[in-house]
Amino acid sequence: MFAFSIITVISLVTAASSHPLLQPKAPCRPMGNGTINIGSYQLYPENVDFDEQSCLLCKFSETQSQENLGHIGALYNASVVVYDPYEGSVVSTIEFANITRTPPFHIGGVAWDPYLQSRDGKSADEITILVDAAAAHETAGRDISGDNYLIRYSPSTHSVLWSTNLTRTSGTRYGGPQDIEHDARGNIYVLGTYPGTIQRVSRTGGLASEWFVPSTKPLDHAVVGYTGFAAVRDSSVLLVTDARNRSAEGGALYTFDMDASRGAPRVVPIAYAEADQVIRPADAIYLPRKYGGEVLLITEHDAVSVVRSRKGGGGKGEKSPSWRAAEFLGRIPNPTELASSGGLVTAAVEIGGRVYIVEEWFTDPLVPGTSAGNRTSFPLVDITAQLDALVNRH
């Protein structure tokens, strides 16, 4: 498992939202079908988020990392590209002084906060950005040196609202933050992969608290644990994938209750139609809005696994899926032509009713003197038809 990073998820709204103010001004226009090719030199996207307020895509870019041992001080191109999927054009690129193209930094995730109340009749729009030290992802957690930061950014004023140093809380005990989520109460959650931790930060910034850290002493950070998380909109359910399954090959799925003062994982048993099936979480996970938080996409680099929450056990009138148990619906493979060129599936995103997978190339040689390889076009592959077929077949 090398150099994977991130993934973030942010666009789910249940049909019967209890927060009318949180609804977008108007639903984003439906997208036409087919792959979207984003023309942007050295974009190397890791993480994509669709902003329902502006209907723009916040595209996160980070350098692919060089695998050359002994050359870990590789160059980085950590920026956030704002992309208009309807016009098919890059709107702007957000760069951060002393972070963009500055070792050791990656940008580990970008997430639009879906819970901001509108102020003065104007919709508020803020995004949370995770800046992480690259070494952890290049060494599968053996080297967790370097600082990690959370940045709160306002796209409307083009300014950094605050930033906080996550390493002040984690120290040298655990590392590899790579995903962000928000809850309705104004908390930001940061997932760490080595060996699987969750920090919590207030929407107004300040020092991160340790919301979940395994009780194992000493902690072994040379272990690949949590890979991605996804919060069910308007619910306290936070889904977390783990690369480990202590009883079998493959990974595991957990829920956490975001109303709790401390996080506690609870296994989500998954029913498989065939005995040898298992999820293999490798990167981001995603709950497409069109399925109301009931269908989860788990990216596995060579494919996307699709699982669904089983009905029942939700209590409180079951407004949102409980995720107390799940069923495996199937797997959508990465298209062969992309897989054979080295493309790996790292994230998924819904835009205007269609669902896409994000392709990353981790092993392209760097263009000398810059932070990334020479690609100029990056596909978002439309998997809507395959996904609908899997969901409707079962």
Ligand X SMILES: *[C@@H]1O[C@H](CO)[C@@H](O)[C@H](O)[C@H]1NC(C)=O
Binding site for ligand X (CB under 6 A): 33, 40-43, 61, 77, 79, 81, 93, 97-98, 147, 165, 167-168, 245, 247-248, 252, 267, 269, 278, 365, 370-371, 374, 385
**CB nearer ligand X, residue 14 or residue 47:** 47
Q: Which residue do the tokens 């692919």 mark? A: 64
Sorted by sequence, the CB contacts under 8 Å of residue 5 that are 6+ apart come out as 46, 47, 62, 106, 108, 109, 132, 137, 178, 283, 346
Nearest to ligand X of 47, 61 (CB atom) = 61
- The CA distance from 326 to 324, in Å, is 7
Report in angstroms how near the CB of residue 295 gets to ligand X at its nearest. Answer: 18
Minimum Å gap between C-beta 23 and ligand X is 27
Backbone region of residue 34 per phi and psi (left: phi > 0; alpha: psi in -120 to 50; beta: other values): left
Please, what is the minimum distance in Å from the beta carbon of residue 157 to ligand X? 17
Smallest gap from Cβ 20 to ligand X, in A, equals 32
Q: Which is nearer to ligand X, 167 or 320 (CB)?
A: 167
| 152 versus 182: smaller Cβ distance to ligand X | 152
Shortest Å distance, C-beta 185 to ligand X: 26
Q: Which is nearer to ligand X, 252 or 357 (CB)?
A: 252
Residue 65 Cβ vs ligand X, minimum distance, rounded to whole Å:
14
Nearer to ligand X among residue 14 and residue 197 (C-beta): 197
Cβ atoms of residues 299 and 354 within 8 Å: no
Distance from CA of residue 195 to its chain's centroid?
17
Question: Closer CB to ligand X, residue 13 or residue 298?
Answer: 298
Its sign, for the CA torsion 369, 375, 377, 382, is negative
- Specify whether the CB–CB gap between 53 and 388 falls below 8 A: no
Closest CA to 193 of 229, 150, 246: 229
Residue matched to tokens 């879906």:
114
| Residue number with CB closer to ligand X (12 or 372) | 372
Q: Taking the complex as a whole, how short is the minimal distance between the CB of residue 369 and ligand X, in angstroms? A: 8
Smallest distance, Å, CB 327 to ligand X? 13
The residue at minimum Cβ distance from ligand X is 252
